[in-house]
Amino acid sequence: MLKKTTKVKKKDKRSLPSRITNDTVAEHREKVLAGGRKHKYPIQYSKHKLVWNTVFISIAGLVTVIVLLYLQLYVWKDTSDLAYRITKILPLPAGSVEGEFVRYSDYLLYNRGNMAVLKTQGQDQAGDKVAFQRQRAMNQAVQDAYVRKLARERGISVDDRKVDEEMDRQQKDAGLSKEAYRSAVKDMIGWSLDEARDGIRASLLRWEVSFVVDKAAANLVKEVEAQLKAGKSLTDVAAALGERVQVMPETVVPKTNKDGGLTEAAIKTADGTISGVIKPLGGDGYYFVQPRSRDNGSITYSYLKIPLTTFKANFDKLINDKKVTYYVHLDQPAEQKSGE
């Protein structure tokens, strides 16, 4: 009996917590921290693994998206609205010319406009015509890239005011309200108003660049002005300069004729008098006009034209010398293949 009592007392003594004193506090603290570490390290391992899994999945997803985009745009050559929206967000190239990237979105926008015209003609399923229009859209996009390069080098730009003025002029010339103009643009070429603004901006920039780079035409203007000042007629000047200029002895047009400003300049000039040099908006050269006669609804005038040739000649040379790099290889139209 005494032995049993002794055992119980020993058992009770072991179950009692040790007394914490100044001498044992460090030991107790280490025991508590050691117990916590057993739970901390497994959690740290799980977080580490989770981060790596997330990174791996993200990279795999990104690679998948890139591969699908490459297939969609550069292998399958998708021209859908979805492809256009993607390339508007991501500035992907369709090619390059003299170091300037050709915007894939420009190619798709021009192609949509060309296809809308084919559709109105009932020819949007004609393979050769579709191939021709796609190649034409690509050439337009390449030309825009070349224009941007030249414009940047020469500090040429087109501000929003000029774009708005040209859009307003087109709307006014067509006699349409803004909403009707919007619908007409959508029906005819499948563009929104914002896309039409982009097209107008590109066209105006190309017009500005064409005049700036053509030093030969600018010098010829001075030569024509000198001869006119000496009293020569438009016909005399044309005979002296030969093929470098073009002359129209007489043309009759309505006073409301929309030709970039030629008719308007003729109306403002007295009959028999030769105007100063004119750069018609969207035109392809310098003009001098001489009104002959007019009535209530029409005007008759002659003109001398100094054509712009430098930009087109330089661009055509880039194409013919294969200086354009294409990342999207389009099928050639049958007539182009047969002509090679």
CA 135 to chain centre: 16
What is the reported pLDDT for 340?
Answer: 45
What is the reported pLDDT for 3?
Answer: 47
245 is written with which tokens?
Answer: 């200029």
Give the number of other CB atoms < 10 A from CB of residue 127. 10
What is the reported pLDDT for 338?
Answer: 45
239 is written with which tokens?
Answer: 């005979």
Global pTM value:
0.82
The more confidently predicted of residues 53 and 268 is 268
Phi and psi at 324, nearest 5°, equal -100, 130
Contact 340, 238 (CB under 8 A): no
Question: Tell me: the pLDDT tens digits for 76-134?
Answer: 999 999 999 999 999 999 999 999 999 999 999 999 999 999 999 998 888 899 999 99
Alpha-carbon distance 297 to 306, whole Å? Answer: 28
Contact 115, 190 (CB under 8 A): yes
Sequence-distant (6+) residues with CB within 8 A of 257 are: 263
What is the reported pLDDT for 43?
Answer: 55
Closest CA to 239 of 248, 229, 247: 247
Question: Tell me: the pLDDT tens digits for 286-337?
Answer: 999 999 999 999 999 999 999 999 999 999 999 999 999 999 999 887 655 5
* Cα angle 283-284-289, degrees, rounded to a multiple of 5: 70
Question: Tell me: the pLDDT tens digits for 253-290?
Answer: 999 998 889 999 999 999 999 999 999 988 899 999 99
Alpha-carbon distance 36 to 253, whole Å? Answer: 96
Question: Tell me: the pLDDT tens digits for 194-237?
Answer: 999 999 999 999 999 999 999 999 999 999 999 999 999 999 99
Does residue 67 have a pLDDT over 70? yes
Does residue 44 have a pLDDT over 80? no
What is the reported pLDDT for 16?
Answer: 42
Contact 277, 180 (CB under 8 A): no
What is the reported pLDDT for 124?
Answer: 82
Alpha-carbon distance 314 to 302, whole Å? Answer: 30
Contact 60, 289 (CB under 8 A): no
Residue recorded with tokens 């035109």: 283
Closest CA to 142 of 102, 105, 181: 102
Question: Tell me: the pLDDT tens digits for 108-124?
Answer: 999 999 999 999 999 88
Does residue 31 have a pLDDT over 80? no
Helix (H) or strand (E) holding 268: helix 262-268
What is the reported pLDDT for 37?
Answer: 57
The more confidently predicted of residues 18 and 31 is 31
229 is written with which tokens?
Answer: 């000042």
Cα separation values, 253 from 41, 261, 263, 266, Å = 90, 13, 8, 11
Closest CA to 234 of 312, 301, 323: 301
Collapse the DSSP code of 47 into the 3-class scheme (helix H, G, I; strand E, B; otherwise coil) and give the result: helix
What is the reported pLDDT for 173?
Answer: 87
What is the reported pLDDT for 100?
Answer: 98
Q: How confident is the model at residue 8 (pLDDT cuts 50, 70, 90)?
A: very low
Collapse the DSSP code of 114 into the 3-class scheme (helix H, G, I; strand E, B; otherwise coil) and give the result: helix
Contact 188, 116 (CB under 8 A): yes
Alpha-carbon distance 233 to 139, whole Å? Answer: 40
What is the reported pLDDT for 52?
Answer: 85
Question: Tell me: the pLDDT tens digits for 151-164?
Answer: 999 999 999 999 99
Sequence-distant (6+) residues with CB within 8 A of 110 are: 136, 137, 138, 140, 141
DSSP-assigned letter for residue 242: G
Does residue 252 have a pLDDT over 60? yes
End-to-end CA distance of the chain: 120
Helix (H) or strand (E) holding 69: helix 25-70
Bin 329: left if φ > 0, else alpha if -120 < ψ < 50, else beta: beta
Sequence-distant (6+) residues with CB within 8 A of 231 are: none
Closest CA to 145 of 332, 323, 330: 323
